[in-house]
Every structure is written in C-alpha cells, then in structure tokens.
Amino acid sequence: MSDKKNPKDHGIEHYQHLDLDTDVSEQLKDVYSNWADSYDDDNDNKLKTVSQPNTVQLLMRHCTAKEIEILDVGCGTGIVGQYLKANGFTHFDGTDPSQEMMEHARSRGYTNLLKLVPGNPLPVEDNAYDATLCVGVFTHGHLGVEGFLELIRVTKPDGLVCFTVNEGVWESGEFETAIDRHSKAGDWEVLEMTKQDYMVNEGIQAWYVAARVKQ
Ligand SMILES: C[S@@+](CC[C@H](N)C(=O)[O-])C[C@H]1O[C@@H](n2cnc3c(N)ncnc32)[C@H](O)[C@@H]1O
C-alpha cells in the first residue's frame, strides 16, 4: 500500500521520473519489483497498453509459421507470451532483469525464463532464435540503441526482430539514425516501421519496427 502513496514510487510515474544521472538499472530493479503484482492490472486498465498484441500482430504480418523459436527480451510478466500462445505459437523463451516480474510469466507458456543483467550480453547463444521480440523496453532509461546489436546477435540469419520504441525517446535516443545505420551496415533489412498507439489512456504512441536479419 505505502508504495502507491507516492506516485513516483510506482509504475509508469516512477520510470518517467528516473534520475538519469545515477545508476538507472538499480532504480528500475526497485520500480519493477514494486510494480510486479499490479503491473498487469495497470497495463490493461490504467494505461490501456496495446504494444503486446500489436507487436504479435506485427510478427504475424511477416511470419506465418507457428512452430518457430522466439525470444521475448524484457518479457516482464509475460503479456507478450500470453498473446503468442493465444495466436498459436508454441515455443517462446523470455528474459528479463526482474525476477519479480518474471515470476508472473511462469504460467504464460514460456519454455525458459532467463534472468538478464542490463549492460551484459543476453544469456543466450548467437543465432539461436527465428524471431526476437522486444516490447516496451526501448523507453525512458531502460535500453538504448546499443540493444540492437544483441537482438541481431541472438537472431538467426533471415530471422525477424520486432520491437517497439516509445515516441518519447525516439528522437532523443537517435533510434531512427541507429536503425538506418544497421540497415546500411547490412545487419538487417527493415520491413515495417510505423507509429501506432502504445499506452492509449496516456495518449502515448510508439514506433513499431520489424526487421529481417541478414546473413
Ligand atoms: C514496460 S516493461 C515491459 C514488459 C513486457 N515486455 C510487456 O510488454 O508487458 C519493461 C521491462 O523491461 C525490463 N528491462 C529493464 N531494463 C532492461 C534492459 N536493459 N534490458 C532488457 N529488459 C529490461 C524490465 O524489468 C521490465 O520487465
């Protein structure tokens, strides 16, 4: 209860007020360990976040096979997994720095849930997945464009990378420039890049990007 009295201590209000001059990953650890139990309710009812179904739809526009191996980076409580399962996907793993968030993902069909350490390589092998998703993580203080290299590394050649970028960090984080740089370097080919609803009740949109990893 007391966590919720100060809005800065809870959920979206907190991470929009992160102190970017100090260790943000430590602050996020507290944010998500406090938020884990009420995250899904906030997602559905308070924020009306639509990034998870939208990203699964994005994946399905570029991949019809359902037996593919998928990694959900920053899986949190596993809402993306819930939509993957509902749409017939059978093999997906999740990874996240918050053990408290991932506890909620256990019942959502993930084969493996792996803890990651921000700033370290993802805890998976090179070229391991047919598709890598990253939803709600390229946002204030969480992960910047340096994250693209890891998404590309763990995705098989010809595999898909699908992610969202909160419009609030799109310019300041130089996302478009970095996406273009990876295209010019031959790392991926962008298949789709559109701005759509993200947190409907907050009036916040995100960029939704699908890219095919090159050989
Ligand atoms: C807004 S939540 C999104 C969770 C889930 N993908 C969803 O759409 O519901 C952001 C998640 O990113 C995780 N996270 C924070 N920093 C991260 C990083 N550097 N790399 C990957 N995930 C991170 C948090 O622990 C949290 O679970």
Give yes or no for residue 31 CB within 6 A of ligand 1: no
Q: Which tens digit of pLDDT belongs to each residue from 172-197?
A: 999 999 999 999 999 999 999 999 99
Q: Which residues contact 189 (CB under 8 A, 6 or more apart)?
A: 183, 211, 212, 214
pLDDT at residue 21, rounded to an integer:
73
C-alpha span between 124 and 3 (Å, rounded): 34
Closest by Cα among 205, 183, 61, 79 to 131: 61
- Cα of 136 to ligand 1 centre, how many Å? 6
- pLDDT at position 25, please? 85
- Locus of tokens 């693209």: 148
Query: How is residue 210 written in tokens?
Result: 């699908």
136 in ligand 1 pocket by Cβ < 6 Å?
yes
Task: Answer whether residue 106 shows pLDDT above 60.
Answer: yes
Query: How many Cα atoms sit within 13 Å of 182 on the Cβ side?
Result: 25
Percentage of the chain lying above the pLDDT 70 cut: 92
- Which segments of the chain are extended strands (E)? 69-73, 91-96, 113-115, 129-138, 155-166, 188-199, 204-213
Question: What residues form DSSP beta bridges with 17?
Answer: none
How much is the pTM? 0.94
Q: How far is the CA of 189 from the centre of ligand 1 (A)?
A: 25
pLDDT, residue 145, reads 98
* Gap from CA of 96 to ligand 1 centroid (Å): 6
Q: 195, 171 in Cβ contact below 8 A?
A: no
Instruction: Report the nearest atom of ligand 1 relative to the CA of 142.
Output: 16
How far does the centroid of ligand 1 lie from the alpha carbon of residue 72, in Å? 10
Q: Which tens digits make up the pLDDT trace of 42-83? A: 999 999 999 999 999 999 999 999 999 999 999 999 999 999
Which of 20, 54, 96, 161 for mutating ligand 1's site (highest number of atoms within 8 Å of CB)?
A: 96
Measured from the CB, is residue 132 less than 6 Å from ligand 1?
Answer: no
Confidence class for position 4, pLDDT limits 50, 70, 90: very low
Please name the helix (run of DSSP H) or strand (run of DSSP E) that holds residue 196, with its range, or none: strand 188-199
Domain residues of the chain, as ranges? 2-16+23-46, 51-213
Rg (alpha carbons) of the chain, rounded to whole number: 16
pLDDT for 7 equals: 40
Among the four given CATH numbers 3.30.9.10, 3.30.1330.40, 3.60.15.10, 3.40.50.150, the one describing domain 51-213: 3.40.50.150
Mutate to test the pocket of ligand 1, among 39, 101, 132, 137 (most ligand atoms within 8 A of CB): 137
CA–CA separation, 136 vs 142, rounded Å? 9
- For residue range 8-48, list pLDDT tens digits in order: 444 566 566 677 777 788 889 889 999 999 999 999 999 99
Residue 195 phi/psi, 5-degree rounding, is -100, 125
Number of helices (H) and strands (E) in the chain: give both, helices first: 9, 7
Residue 101 Cα to ligand 1 midpoint, Å, equals 9
What value does the mean pLDDT of the chain take? 92
* Residue with token string 């938020």: 35
| Residue 80 near ligand 1, beta carbon < 6 Å | yes
Pocket test for ligand 1, best of 142, 150, 151 (most atoms within 8 A of CB): 142
Sign of the four-CA dihedral 84, 162, 26, 113: positive
